Structure 1
Amino acid sequence: MKTEFITALALAGAAQAAVQGFDISHYQPTVNYQAAYNAGARFVIIKATEGTTYTDPSFSTHYTGATNAGLIRGGYHFAHPGATTGAAQADYFLAHGGGWSGDGRTLPGMLDLESEGSNPQCWGLSTSGMVSWIKSFSDRYHTVTGVYPMLYTNPSWWSTCTGNSNAFVNTNPLVLARYASAPGTIPGGWPYQTIWQNSDSYTYGGDSDIFNGDLAGLKRLASG
C-alpha cells in the first residue's frame, strides 16, 4: 500500500468518514445486492477459497451480482497456515477468484486469519512461523498483482499467533474484526484499521464492514 494512500486514509479516518460494506460466502446463497447498494453499501468482500483444495461454490454468482449492482468488490481466502506454504495458497487464491486489477472497482484480495474448529488455535505454528507464513502469502500475492493483500484478523488471534507482530504495518491494509461499538485498540502496530468488521449480522446478508474513509478513499484502495 502506497505511503500517500496511508496518509490520505489516516486523514480520512481522523475526519470520521465511513463507507458501509459487507462480506459474504456460500452461507448467504441469495443476496439482494441492489437493495444493499440502494441502502448505502458500496463494497462487498466475497469468499473465494480455502487452503489449496476448496473453492466457494457461490463465489461467481456473488461476484457477478455485486458487479451488476455497482458495488466495489473483491475476494477473500480463508487461510490454512502450515497445511501448505503461504505462496502455494496465494497461487490457489489467485487462480480461483482472488486476482486484482487497478480498475477502481476491485479490492485487493483479503487473507482471512483466524482459528477454525478442532484445528490448533494457531494451526500448529509458532509465532515466528506464522509471521513467515503470512509473509510468504503476502509476498507472492504482491509479486503477481503489484498490491499487497488485506489482512483480516482479531486482536486476540493476532496477539497469540503472531506475537502481535508489526511486520505488516507498512504494506498490508488491516481488516479488523471486533464486534463492538468502536474499533478499540488496534493490534500489530497498525495506526488504524482500513476496514472494521463491526458486526456478524448485516441486513442484506453476511457480516457488516465499515471502510475507514470516504468513497474516494475506497476507490483509491481499489486502484492500487
Structure 2
Amino acid sequence: MKSLSEGKYKGIDISNWQGNINFTGAKNDGIEIVYIKATEGNYYADPYLDNYYEAAKNNGLLVGFYHYFKANIDPKAQAQFFVDNIYGKTIECRLALDIEENEGCDPDLLSNMCVEFLQEVEKLSGKGVVVYTYTNFAQNNLTTILSVYPLWIAHYEVDAPDDNPIWDSWVGFQYSDTGHVNGIDGNCDLDVFMDGILLDGTPTPPTPPPDPQNTYTVKPGDTLSSIAQMYGTTWQHLAEINNLSNPDLIYPGQVLIIDTGSQNTYTVKSGDTLSGIAQMYGTTWQHLASINNISNPNLIYPGQVLIIGTDSQNTYTVKSGDTLSGIAEMYGTTWQHLASINNISNPNLIYPGQVLIIGTGSQSTYTVRSGDTLSGIAEMYGTTWQHLAEINNISNPDLIYPGQVLKI
C-alpha cells in the first residue's frame, strides 16, 4: 500500500472527546480536512456535531462525517439516523462507516450488514461513502464483498499500512491516535488523505433495473429480496425456482434463474394454497382467482396449472418536483402501493433519478363477475375504489353489475 508520505491532504478526525477546538489554530497547523463524528447506532448523536461543523466551515476546512456502526442494530435504521443528523450540511468528503466491533457476528454476516448500511446511506443522501477500519479488523472480520468501496485505514507507528485480503489501496490513512495539533488540547487522531476521499458533487446515480433476461449474476451487496424487487417478484419465488434452502445465503458470481416471458404459469404442488402461491409471486389470491376463473379459492389441486400474469415490468424515473402521490395518480395506483413494492419507508423522501417499480402486467380492463365489489376489485389491483369510481364515471360505488367492463 501507499506510504504516509504519499498522502495529499493533512487531516484529523474528531469527536466530543476532543472538547472545545480552536479550528483557526488547526488550520494554521496545516490541517485541510476534518472528519467529525456524527452518530453511533441509532441512539447517539455527538453533542459537538453542529459546533464543530460550523467552526470548521468558518475556517474553510473540507468536512466529512462518520458513523460508528453497531452490528446489533438494524443497518437501515442506523443509516437513516446518520443521514437525518447531517441533513442540510455542506459536505466535501465521503460519508464514512466506522466499523471496529463485530458484536459476535461472523465476517460474512457483518460484511453484509455493512453493505446494507452503505447502500442505504448512498440512497438516502445521494453521496459517496468510504469504509473506515483498522488493519487487524480488516484481516480477520471483513470479507471481499466490501472491496467495491474505498478504504480509510487505521494503522499506527508504521510508514505504510500492512496488507489485508480486501483492499490494496487507501484513500485515507490514520497513522496516529496520539497526535498533537494546534488548537486541540491533548491527543487526537492524525490522517492523510488522497483525492478519492473527496466527493465530486454529483449524487451517486441509482442502479437502473436490469433488462429482461433469463438469468441474473449475483453482485457484491446483493440480497435475494433486492434482486426480487428489481424483477418485480418475491424472494420466496426466487428461492423456490433456484432451490435455495437458505435465502440469506447467496454469493457474488452465483447465477440465478429469473423466469421471464409473456406468460407466467405455476403448477400446484401438494400442500399449496392460493394465498401462499400469491405471496410467492407478489400478488393477491383474489387476482389469481380472477384470472384463472376459480370460483372457490380453497379448491385447487396438485398438477393444476395456474396463470400468474404477465412480466412486462413498468418503471418510472423520478423527476424534480415529483411526489409519490403524484406518480401514483399518473399510473392509477396509490402511493401506499408504490411505497410497499419499492420498500420506501418515508413516502416524502424520493429523489430525481430514482427508478421506481410501478407494477407488472398489461391488464387495463376488468370484467365484473357476480359477487364482485368495487373495493374488492381495487384491492386486487393495488388501487382504491375511489380511483376506479372516478376513472369509470361511477356515481354510486355500490352499484356495479356482472359483465360490466371497468378500466383499471
What TM-score, normalized by structure 1, do the two folds share? 0.79
Q: Answer with 1 or 2: which has the greater Rg.
A: 2
1:31-70 matched pairs, under 5 angstroms: 31-70=21-60
Q: Call closer, same or farther: CA 1:68–1:147 in 2, change over 3 Å.
A: same
Q: Assess if the C-alpha contact under 8 Å between 1:20 and 1:209 holds in 2.
A: yes
Q: Assess if the C-alpha contact under 8 Å between 1:22 and 1:202 holds in 2.
A: no
Residue aligned with 2:20, SS:
coil
Q: Call closer, same or farther: CA 1:42–1:179 in 2, change over 3 Å.
A: same
Partner of residue 276, structure 2: none
* Counterpart check, 1:108 vs 2:94: yes
Q: Assess if the C-alpha contact under 8 Å between 1:175 and 1:194 holds in 2.
A: yes
**Shift in Å, 1:86:** 1.2
Gaps of 5+ in 2: 203-408
Match of 1:132 among 112, 131, 148: 112
Q: Call closer, same or farther: CA 1:125–1:218 in 2, change over 3 Å.
A: closer
RMSD between aligned residues: 2.5
How many residue pairs end up in the alignment?
A: 197
Match of 1:156 among 136, 146, 158: 136
Identity %: 27
Aligned letter for 1:22?
Answer: I
**Shift in Å, 1:145:** 2.4
In 1, the alpha carbon distance for the partners of 2:196 and 2:139 equals 28
1:169-188 matched pairs, under 5 angstroms: 169-170=147-148, 172-188=149-165
**Shift in Å, 1:219:** 7.9
Aligned letter for 2:199?
Answer: L
Q: Give structure 1 regions of 4+ aligned residues with deviation exceeding 3 angstroms.
A: 98-101, 218-224
**Shift in Å, 1:16:** 2.5
**Shift in Å, 1:222:** 5.4
Partner of residue 13, structure 2: 23
* Counterpart check, 1:91 vs 2:80: yes
Moved more, 27-36 or 200-209: 200-209
**Shift in Å, 1:50:** 0.5
Partner of residue 7, structure 1: none
Q: Assess if the C-alpha contact under 8 Å between 2:112 and 2:145 holds in 1.
A: no
Residue aligned with 1:36, SS:
helix
Gaps of 5+ in 1: 1-9, 116-121
In 1, the alpha carbon distance for the partners of 2:144 and 2:197 equals 26
**Shift in Å, 1:201:** 2.4
Q: Call closer, same or farther: CA 1:139–1:64 in 2, change over 3 Å.
A: same
**Shift in Å, 1:85:** 1.6
Partner of residue 6, structure 1: none
Task: Point out which structure has higher relative CO (alpha carbons under 8 A, 6+ apart).
Answer: 1
Residue aligned with 2:178, SS:
coil
In 2, the alpha carbon distance for the partners of 1:193 and 1:98 equals 27
In 2, the alpha carbon distance for the partners of 1:75 and 1:32 equals 19
Q: Assess if the C-alpha contact under 8 Å between 1:99 and 1:109 holds in 2.
A: no
In 2, the alpha carbon distance for the partners of 1:141 and 1:158 equals 21
In 1, the alpha carbon distance for the partners of 2:138 and 2:55 equals 33
**Shift in Å, 1:99:** 7.0
Q: Assess if the C-alpha contact under 8 Å between 1:99 and 1:145 holds in 2.
A: no
Residue aligned with 1:61, SS:
helix
